[in-house]
Amino acid sequence: MKKISILIFLLSFSLVSFSQNADSTWFKNNYIKMERYITMRDGVKLFTSIYIPKDKNEKHPILMTRTPYSCAPYGENNFKDYWNSYEMAYCKEGYIMATQDVRGRWMSEGEFKDVRPFNGNKKSKEIDEASDTYDAIDWLVKNIPNNNGNVGVFGISYPGFYSTMAAASNHPALKAVSPQAPVTNWFIGDDFHHKGVFFQMDAFDFYSALGFAFGVPHPHPRSDAAASSGYPVHDNYKFFLEAGTLKNLSKYMGDSIAFWKDLMSHPNYDAWWQARDARNATKNLQPAMLWVGGLFDAEDCWGAWNSYKAAEKNNPGKAFNKIVEGPWYHEQWANNDGTHHGNIQFGSNTSDYYQQHFEIPFFNYFLKGKGDISQIAEANVFITGANEWKTFSQWPPANKEDKAMYLHQDGKLNWSKPATANSSSEYTSNPAKPVPYEEFVHFNRTRTYMTDDQRFAARRPDVLVFQTDTLTDNVTVTGSIIADLQTSISTTDADFVVKLIDVFPDYLSYNNVDIYAEKDPVNPYPMGGYEMLVRAEIMRGKFRNSFEKPEPFVPGKITEVKWELPDVAHTFLKGHRIMIQIQSSWFPLADRNPQRFEDIYTADDKDFQKATIRIYHDAMHASKIILPVLKN
């Protein structure tokens, strides 16, 4: 049997290799590459890489991505390996594929600005990312031979932000745009802040010369990457804990990273941050829109949901403004394997399904006038747990009901409001020993933490645990979750993390597969009793009433802290349990709160203090989690 398995593996590998080689040969035989500088309205020239079909029998649509991450490889004889991606399907359809370095990045001229604000009232030669896209499209349709005059734009993450801006350009040739996991709001929910809490690990890695080195100055066009020397300690928990304050962390950054200074200088949701909300660009959108996001995207889970909702609100009656949400980590829908996320299996290749049923038909229809898009509903969402695609005529679904699930004494959780008087649970939050977001020692932020086992946290004394009895029926939740806590704290500020968890049965043969059996057949991961993180979000207490005007707590006073968690689509199966965990640190994913009311970006080591956190669950002060339950 072992010899047969090896033979099958080798045969499969050979077939894949042959297919890739055949595709690469086909691409090089059927495409030419052109590199051009396209002049913007203010005279700045942006470097653009363009792959053009040799076929002259028909006119071809243009599919474009604008990116700060480089349109390498550079040189007209060096080809991007489209043949290793599903994007090869576009090449087989004869698309002109264009990628542009945004201004101030890589080979483009000009000054780069992070999440450059949209300017809806540009005059003369004023620019933003929408105008740069307009000018680029205008040049392409007028100068690339044999194009059909139809342009599409797509991109993931930061290129997703540029896709949103592209849609706002409303160039008449721009027919279809797909912002995917688009960077949307870096204070409320994407990448570097969640509910005003600084996500230090991602921000530091992205901007530091010790990490990704994104913010290194770019005075002249260059085709090579900025230097990166690596972290001094390969243990994130240890590194960030020993760094201490954000002021100390900034010392690693040096003086050259402008946006890091901006992050440190704008602790509240002020006008500077509000101008950088990409939803400002979602009014009067003319192209067809297909928003795409991942339910377990550790970077930009918030952006796709909320950009779609803003576009719905700002464009009433728009013919095509749809969303696809799958069970993916960041960019997984563009990969070959969408069968699982960490330990959680989906029962099918959801990435391939997305590519073949949503994205490719979308662009083919609007750019080539080919095929059918009737299968693309208003909201196309994969329900984890049940492991099935569902379509809805609106999002959140019309037939969902917001139902309160109440916390009770002795760690109970159910649909009944507590009748007990004077009931609460408490823990001590100690910034010197913050609750880790992951169980194991690691270097980079993990992408699997979004579904990882939470049993490690449930065992800590500074984490409260509430769970239901074993479910007798399936419970499906579709939409945003509201955490509504009644709390008192012994200090003037604190953070609150609420985690919604699916507790698997203790005795479980998970899909009849040991998840890590092939890697470690002796010690497969135990899925019985697994506490799957379905959704979690942190809230900085001082922002409970306003992100613009923070307020201190009155020590010992019972106070409501209420906030929204990003949307979910999950079925808690019969035989499982629903669990809520509450804690006040999530380290080093999120920065530590000194637990006193102050500007945390300027806090000193001496400012950090312990706090006693009390969560109330009695008749007068009922803490609850409001779940969007899908009705049958």
* pLDDT score recorded for residue 6: 44
* pLDDT score recorded for residue 518: 38
The 10s digit of each residue's pLDDT in 208-233 is 876 667 888 888 898 888 776 667 88
Specify the range with the lowest mean pLDDT, choosing from 10-19, 200-209, 244-253, 336-345. Answer: 10-19
In three-state secondary structure terms, 130 is: helix
Q: Please tell me the pTM assigned to this model.
A: 0.94
* pLDDT score recorded for residue 517: 32
Domains parsed from the chain with CATH numbers: 23-185+283-392 (3.40.50.1820), 193-274 (1.10.3020.10), 400-630 (2.60.120.260)
**CB within 8 A of 360, min separation 6: which ones?**
86, 89, 90
The 10s digit of each residue's pLDDT in 519-553 is 445 567 888 999 999 999 999 999 999 999 999 99
**H or E, element range at 4:** helix 2-30
Mean pLDDT over each residue of the chain, to the nearest integer: 93
- Distance, CA of 554 to chain centre: 35
Q: For 274-292, give the DSSP string.
A: HHT-GGGG-SS--SEEEEE
In the chain the first and final C-alpha atoms are separated, in Å, by 47
Of all residues in the chain, what percent are helix, strand and coil, respectively (each to 5)?
25, 30, 45
More confident residue, 11 or 312: 312
Q: Is the pLDDT of residue 488 over 70?
A: yes
The 10s digit of each residue's pLDDT in 382-414 is 999 999 999 999 999 999 999 999 999 999 999
* pLDDT score recorded for residue 160: 98
Distance CA 453, CA 385 (A): 15
Distance CA 67, CA 299 (A): 17
Contacts made by residues 540-545, CB under 8 angstroms, sequence distance 24+: 540/195, 540/196, 540/197, 540/493, 540/495, 540/593, 541/489, 541/493, 541/494, 541/495, 541/496, 541/593, 542/196, 542/493, 542/597, 543/195, 543/196, 543/268, 543/269
* pLDDT score recorded for residue 1: 43
The one-letter amino acid at 413: L
How big is the chain, counted in residues? 632
The 10s digit of each residue's pLDDT in 442-472 is 988 999 999 999 999 999 999 999 999 999 9
* pLDDT score recorded for residue 444: 87
Structure tokens at 73: 């490889």
Average pLDDT over residues 51-65: 97
Tell me what percent of the residues of the chain surpass a pLDDT of 70.
93
Distance CA 55, CA 23 (A): 16
